[in-house]
Amino acid sequence: MALNDPVEPEVEMERDFVRPFLATAGRTRSSLSDLRIETLVEATAKLEDGLRFEAARVAKLCREPNSVAEISAKLKIPLGAVKVIVGDLVGSNHVRTHKTIEGETPEDMQLISRLIAGVRKL
Amino acid sequence: MTDRVVKKNPVSAKFVVAGGFGVGKTTFVGTISEIDPLRTEAKMTSASLGVDDTSKVATKTTTTVAMDFGRITIDDDLVLYLFGTPGQERFSFMWNDLVNGALGAVVLVDSRRLADCFYAVDYFESRKIPFVVAVNEFDGMVAHEIDAVAKALQVGPDVHVISCDARSRDSVKNVLLDLFEVILERMMAANAAAVTA
Ligand SMILES: Nc1nc2c(ncn2[C@@H]2O[C@H](COP(=O)(O)OP(=O)(O)OP(=O)(O)O)[C@@H](O)[C@H]2O)c(=O)[nH]1
Ligand SMILES: [Mg+2]
């Protein structure tokens, strides 16, 4: 819920960009607060026609899975704005988001083992 | 346009690399990342309300905070990201957004400026995020310094304090593997607790 948490009184992070996801479809999975900087975003098969400029660029980049942070860095869009755009694109079914491994479920254990094996091989 | 066939469900994980200003975070990330560290920016608006009560006008200043991160693609469906925190403590309000969901953290320490890492250690300890303390070898580290650092930080015996050279791939790799060990221990302890409960 980081985005909805009260920020320190004197500091507002990109408040202008942060608005509730409700504007589109209100599906819980795609709420902005689930979107982490490492969350991979991937385009669906839906065409990008009709999307406004920045949203179209994001959707296009995400034909290959890219994290929220990568979208921000590669397209030079501030993080907060990327989250809003991705939230909208999830709502309009142009992209979907993938799970992150946070070490909390039993299936995470297997994934972590694969991460370890991978790092060992580096 | 050709139809895109969605094949796999890739998943990602994140490590955070924290520590004081200039301690080697970007170097650490760059050493192990498969890409040159990318830089992402967040715009922050600080409204200095109440500074000048008579005017009742909030002066707004916008600061851009940059963080850099690297990527390790383990497989076509598994990615590990490393995020360096902004070094200056005055940007620490960004940490929640950065750290939420992190699998673990590395606290980089320069033993000559030990106090710079207190904030990070406290932060991860209080949020129960698995972390290791890696003492960066700026002047060549001697083993006893590691013990001294561990003592000075007043961390529990379960917290690993190890030495590292952020410029060496093997060294960075070792730190990450050490962190994974801590994460696994933590998960197994949690599982065991769940079983006996
Ligand atoms: N001798 C030595 N120098 C290092 C090591 N790691 C980093 N440095 C140097 O220390 C300086 C700072 O390193 P950075 O990686 O930029 O540090 P940082 O923590 O990202 O700095 P900020 O983002 O500004 O807080 C650079 O000149 C590095 O080359 C190390 O292990 N040994
Ligand atoms: Mg840096």
Cβ atoms < 10 Å from Cβ of B117? 23
Residue percentage of chain B with pLDDT more than 70: 84
Q: Is the C-beta atom of B87 inside 6 A of ligand 1?
A: yes
Binary contact (B12, A38; C-beta < 8 A): yes
Sheet strand arrangement including A95-97:
A66-67, A40-43, A95-97
Answer whether residue B5 shows pLDDT above 80. Answer: no
Specify the pLDDT at position A101: 96
Chain B residues near residue A15 by CB distance under 8 angstroms: 45
Buried b (16+ CB within 10 A) or exposed e, B123-157: bbeeeebbbbbbbbbeeebeeebbeebbeebebee
Chain A residues near residue B81 by CB distance under 8 angstroms: 37-38, 67, 69
Let me know if residue B2 belongs to a domain.
Answer: no
- Distance in Å, CA B15 to ligand 2 centroid: 15
User: Where in the sequence is the domain holding B27, given as residue range(s)?
Assistant: 11-196
Q: SS3 of B131, please? A: strand
- Distance in Å, CA B86 to ligand 2 centroid: 7
Let me know if residue B152 belongs to a domain.
Answer: yes
Specify the pLDDT at position A53: 92
Distance (Å) of CA B149 to CA B84, B130, B153: 22, 18, 6
Answer whether residue B141 shows pLDDT above 70. Answer: no
Q: For residue B178, give the chain A residue with the closest CA.
A: A116
The amino acid occupying position B53 is: D
More confident residue, B55 or B82: B82
**Dihedral sign, CA of B159, B164, B167, B168?**
negative
Answer whether residue A106 shows pLDDT above 90. Answer: no
Answer whether residue A21 shows pLDDT above 70. Answer: no
Let me know if residue B25 belongs to a domain.
Answer: yes
Specify the pLDDT at position B16: 97
* Model pLDDT for residues A54-69, shown as the tens digit of each residue: 999 999 999 999 999 9
Specify the pLDDT at position A30: 42
Answer whether residue B106 shows pLDDT above 50. Answer: yes
Q: SS3 of A58, please? A: helix
Nearest to A23 by CA among A67, A95, A89: A89
Nearest to A35 by CA among A85, A77, A106, A104: A85
Q: CATH topology for A20-121?
A: Arc Repressor Mutant, subunit A (1.10.10)
Mean pLDDT highest for which of B3-12, B43-52, B60-69?
A: B60-69
Specify the pLDDT at position A35: 92
Q: How many domains does chain B have?
A: 1
